Structure 1
Amino acid sequence: MTVLTLQDMATQSGVAFGTSGARGKVADMTPDLCHAYTTAFLNAVVPKATSIVLGHDLRPSSPEIAAACAAAIESLGMTVIYGGALPTPALALYAAQCGSPAIVVTGSHIPFDRNGIKFYREDGEITKADERAMLDFLVGLPKQLTLPKLPAPDPRVEQAYLDRYIRFFGANALDGETIAVYEHSSVARDVLRKILEALGAEVISLGRTDVFVPIDTEAVRHEDIEQAREWAELYDFDAIVSTDGDADRPLIGDEKGEWMRGDVVGILTAQYLHATAVVTPVSSNSALERTESFAQVVQTRIGSPYVIEGMQQAAHAGAELVVGYEANGGFLLGSQVLRNGQRLGPLPTRDAVLPMLALLCGAKAQTLKMSEVGYRLPKRFTASDRIQNFATSSSRDLIASLRNDHVLLRNVMAPQAGPVEAIDETDGLRVHFASGDIVHLRPSGNAPELRCYAESTSVRSAKRLCDECLLRILKTASKL
């Protein structure tokens, strides 16, 4: 038996922890490697566990990776509770309810040739310290690994998630509403229909495919923008909803087929829940602070582990109702919510369904069109996009060059935005200009991509800031 640290194996394979679990190319995520990651998690993080909740998304590579994880679980004498193909938050919820850790095989929104594994302790997502403990663990590789056949999914896992939202929002909450669901390859496509219909809505199913579609709710593809507008002309719906691959990030559009930004969705959901403390990454829309709706606003590095850490600190400091969200729209609930005699328990992991239902039910209660729900927010608008296949090392070199040369920084990031007023290095390089515009660059934590976030006083100017910055980077990077 070969014995290596998980760090050694990660370095050799290129499969590594990012902002949300371990990620890598499918070709590198061999059964042995996935078995090793699982073995390290079970021994270094949850050694006393007796059962593990296991599930996955709809990527073609996910079932085999899940089988390798199941082999590791069974080799240690633990029981597999197999949820099958379900949303990541549904698997995390059931694990929390039964006091078991969870493993979810998903690459979320990243390209088709990649995948990943997310790990949950009994009390939620693993921490960066847990990741370090896993990487330091000595893993013994079996000489020959036989993958077990995955069992039939346990229906209780899905049912717990359905019950959570149907009970809280109520059977008649969406009576008379027509909701389109852009299903594509989202693992939530059937769950969404069940929840929406149980709440009284009429559901229109659109765009279902067996080919995996890498929907990124932070950088929505041009074809998805145009498709939603075309559907709005063809169908009479009140809203259109979708998710990324593993359904922990929502995509919510109005009756015109215009997709809403995730950080605006986060603000509106926090208002709907009457949150007192809101935690979000530094890349999110500054309208959050300007609303003055919340007693406490905390900004963090990008990634759910940092948001969760901030939520825990706010709760320990005595905040009454703590929530978190990311610019991708994924919403985290850190406290119990009581409304109309119904209880919604905490779910401190990204979730797509709660913000969808909050906006849909909030709009209906106020007799507003979905296009009108954010009309009271300060007029700050964000845009984001990415350069794919841009090495992380190249991103870091570029950011270092910009940080050390403010003339180059202005010329590359926003030459028309006036002098630099402030620089925030919480995560990457976020620059505030005298015009009020903001441009933020950082390497992706999940893939070889450079991400750009921009904020301005109109949708058009924010998008122009983002697009033009990325174009200049493509011209500049080769010269640095």
Structure 2
Amino acid sequence: MAVHEMSRPLRHLADAHNVRFGTSGVRGLVADLSDAVCYAYTQAFLKTVATGSSRIVVGHDLRPSSPRIAAACIQAMRDVGREAVYVGGVPTPALAYYCALHGSPGIVVTGSHIPFDRNDIKFYRADGEIAKADEQAILDSDVAVPDGLTPADLPTVDGTALEAYIGRYTGFFGEGTLAGLRIALYEHSSVARDVLRSVLERLGAEVLSLGRTDVFVPIDTEAVRAEDITQARAWAQAHRFDAILSTDGDADRPLIGDETGTWLRGDVVGILCAQYLRADVVVTPVSSNTAVEQCGSFRQVVRTRIGSPYVIANMGAYRDGGRVVGYEANGGFLLGSDVERGDSVLKALPTRDSVLPMLALLAIARLKGLRLSELGDDLPRRFTASDRIQSVPTDLSRALMGRLEFDARLAARLMAPDAGEVVALDTTDGLRATFASGEIVHLRPSGNAPELRCYAEAPEGMRASTLCDRCLTRLSSYLHELHHELRLPT
């Protein structure tokens, strides 16, 4: 193809189209993720991170725009003589695992839990997710988009990635491990809906399929929708099951419910999975439940900023400290060390995964003869709740953070006026305030969308929910006033 434009830094194109790296990956509106933009990002990735690699693994989720974006990425590979190994619709951790097995870089197109009018391109080195330094190198790279870019059709799907991912778990946990369990699978539009059925059935469980749809459903495992809370409880009354399982769109975050249809908090799931794996060092963002320190199960707990790249970087730094794991408040679990059990070895997979924590909790329940609702009974009584205000411009969120950080009285009035004075402020990521009551409220602008997130922690579940809900109600009014005061664009 002839080149349409002079070579220029990708950063300029990214800014012009408002498509930039977020917490993890390149995210933007589908309308802005044009073929040219996707081609340019892939070209920069090949020139800076995937140098010397002749084969690049490419996959995507099931949202409507993902195959088209994947085709544009693959065209960039073809134009420089690289081979695209197209694995089709696969869970993000399945693609990452396949990359690690074959020593190949990879690209997965997925917007995870965000609405279908947005999407994301995530880049992988052969050894895992790219780092923040890699992102900067990609943005600084010079790119040139071909004239009349028309991506060719997608190649034939290579199904070996899915089989390898299934084999990872059936080989470690063993056939029959889940025999006697009846598992409800909330399939919706998760790319893992068929994979999960295969894994669970091979491990001996009976699987009940629920809620399958071809319409994309934006499941956020950290801020579960009211309709999903209601639906799960209704299913529990209508069907007999031991657990209900689901994931976000690309299946790197689990949604695990007990026999009553009550969804478990992701940070509690992370603690239980880490205990099952007998971890020495646990790496988790500052937003996660403090029960991880208080339970006394781990030699060291390391806190990071929110986002898997920060968790991964710290897992690598503590690799010599024994068995290292990481998890996020959304339930995504990262395995930083190999785990040996008898003749079986579960290889490290330092990227968010949904299947490992699901199987770990089911295995614990089976081994101890407990219901899923009883698994957290031995943990310290610390409960968390989270939610968000959508359509909050990033500039407005940052202005709010600045005011609250330097005005403790305003912070207490808006965040938790009935929790006592602010006794500690943590600005690792956003603003996390600990109050005299021991309760915690944490505010943070999302790194992936124009949203303001709120995390609350208290000794009782209802109190945590109340803290979160009332804080967001007060903030909604204050943000409206602040928006007008600062004269920000609508």
Tell me which interval the TM-score lies in, with the shorter structure as reference length. Answer: over 0.9
The equivalent residue for 2:49 is: 45
The equivalent residue for 1:115 is: 119
Structure 2 residue 98 is the aligned partner of structure 1 residue 90 = no
Moved over 2 A (4+): none
State how 1:215-234 maps to structure 2 within 5 Å: 215-234=219-238
| Counterpart Cα distance in 2 of 1:16 and 1:109 | 18
The equivalent residue for 1:12 is: 16
1:30 is displaced (CA, Å) by 0.2
> In structure 1, what residue type is equivalent to 2:34?
T
Structure 2 residue 289 is the aligned partner of structure 1 residue 282 = no
| Counterpart Cα distance in 1 of 2:445 and 2:478 | 16
Per-residue CA deviations over 1:217-239 (Å, capped at 9, x if unaligned) read: 00000000000000000000000
| Counterpart Cα distance in 2 of 1:435 and 1:136 | 48
| Counterpart Cα distance in 2 of 1:30 and 1:458 | 47
Per-residue CA deviations over 1:294-326 (Å, capped at 9, x if unaligned) read: 0111000000000001100011xx211000000
Identify unmatched segments of 5+ residues in structure 2: 483-490
Do the aligned residues in 1 keep the contact of 2:242 with 2:258 (CA within 8 Å)? yes
| Counterpart Cα distance in 2 of 1:413 and 1:108 | 29
Per-residue CA deviations over 1:420-474 (Å, capped at 9, x if unaligned) read: 1100000000000000110000110000000000000111000110111011011
Do the aligned residues in 1 keep the contact of 2:112 with 2:249 (CA within 8 Å)? yes
Structure 2 residue 7 is the aligned partner of structure 1 residue 23 = no
| Counterpart Cα distance in 2 of 1:363 and 1:152 | 41
> In structure 2, what residue type is equivalent to 1:408?
L
| Counterpart Cα distance in 2 of 1:477 and 1:177 | 48
Per-residue CA deviations over 1:15-64 (Å, capped at 9, x if unaligned) read: 11011101000000000000001000010111111100000000000000
State how 1:337-348 maps to structure 2 within 5 Å: 337-348=339-350
Q: 1:311 is matched with which residue: 312, 315, 318?
A: 315
| Counterpart Cα distance in 2 of 1:450 and 1:10 | 23
State how 1:48-447 maps to structure 2 within 5 Å: 48-315=52-319, 318-447=320-449
Per-residue CA deviations over 1:334-369 (Å, capped at 9, x if unaligned) read: 101011321100000000000000000111000000
Farther off after superposition, 33-42 or 403-412 = 403-412
SS of structure 2 residue aligned to 1:27: coil
Per-residue CA deviations over 1:387-443 (Å, capped at 9, x if unaligned) read: 111111111011111112111111100000001110000000000000011000011
Per-residue CA deviations over 1:112-150 (Å, capped at 9, x if unaligned) read: 210000000111100000000000011011111121111
Q: 1:451 is matched with which residue: 450, 453, 460?
A: 453
| Counterpart Cα distance in 2 of 1:215 and 1:359 | 21
TM-score, length-scaled by structure 2: 0.97
| Counterpart Cα distance in 2 of 1:342 and 1:453 | 38
| Counterpart Cα distance in 2 of 1:110 and 1:458 | 29
SS of structure 2 residue aligned to 1:43: helix
SS of structure 1 residue aligned to 2:298: coil
Identify unmatched segments of 5+ residues in structure 1: none
SS of structure 2 residue aligned to 1:298: strand
The equivalent residue for 1:467 is: 469
SS of structure 2 residue aligned to 1:28: coil
Count of residues in correspondence between the two structures: 478
SS of structure 2 residue aligned to 1:92: helix
TM-score, length-scaled by structure 1: 0.99
Do the aligned residues in 1 keep the contact of 2:275 with 2:297 (CA within 8 Å)? yes
**Superposition CA RMSD, Å:** 0.6
SS of structure 2 residue aligned to 1:324: strand
Provide the identity percentage: 62
